[in-house]
Amino acid sequence: MFLATFLVFLAASLGNGVRAIVGFGGALIIVPLITMIHDLPTAAPTVALSNLLPTLYVVYHYWHGVRWATVLRMTVGIVIGTPVGVYLLGNVDSGVMLLGLGIFIVLYTAYTMLGPELPVLKGHFWDPAFGLIGGMIGGAFNMSGPPYIVYGTMSRWPAAEFKATLSMLFFLGAIVVTVSHYSNGNLTPLVWQSTFAAIPGGLVGTYVGLRIGDRLDAETFRKIVFAVLFVIGANLIRLGLI
Contacts (Cβ under 8 Å, ≥6 apart) of 186? 41, 44, 45
Least confident of 37-51, 109-123, 145-159, 178-192: 109-123
Sorted by where each begins, the domain ranges of the chain are 2-241
What are the distances in angstroms from CA 4 to CA 32, 33, 46, 131, 236?
A: 14, 11, 13, 34, 24
pLDDT at residue number 14: 86
The stretches of the chain forming alpha helices (DSSP H) are 2-22, 26-34, 40-50, 52-61, 68-91, 94-114, 126-141, 145-154, 159-183, 189-213, 218-241
The neighbour count for residue 119, using CB atoms within 10 Å, is: 7
Evaluate if residue 143 carries a pLDDT over 90: no
Percent of the chain surpassing pLDDT 70 = 95
| CA torsion angle 224 65 56 171 (round to 10) | -80
237 or 184, higher pLDDT: 237
Buried (b) or exposed (e) across 46-79, using 16+ Cβ within 10 A? Answer: bbbbbbbbbbbbbbebbeebbbeebbebbbebbb
Q: pLDDT for 209-227, tens place per residue?
A: 888 888 877 677 777 777 8
Cα–Cα distance, 185 to 183 (Å, whole number): 6
How many Cβ atoms sit within 10 Å of the Cβ of residue 37? 15
The answer to whether residues 139 and 81 touch, using CB atoms and an 8 Å cutoff, is: yes
For the chain, give the mean pLDDT.
Answer: 82
Look at residue 203 and tell me whether its pLDDT is greater than 80: yes
Q: What percent of the chain has pLDDT over 90?
A: 8
Is residue 115 pLDDT above 70, yes or no? Answer: no
Whether the pLDDT of residue 73 is over 90: the answer is yes
Is the pLDDT score of 116 beyond 70?
Answer: no
Residue 31: the pLDDT is 75
Amino acid identity for residue 50 in this structure: S
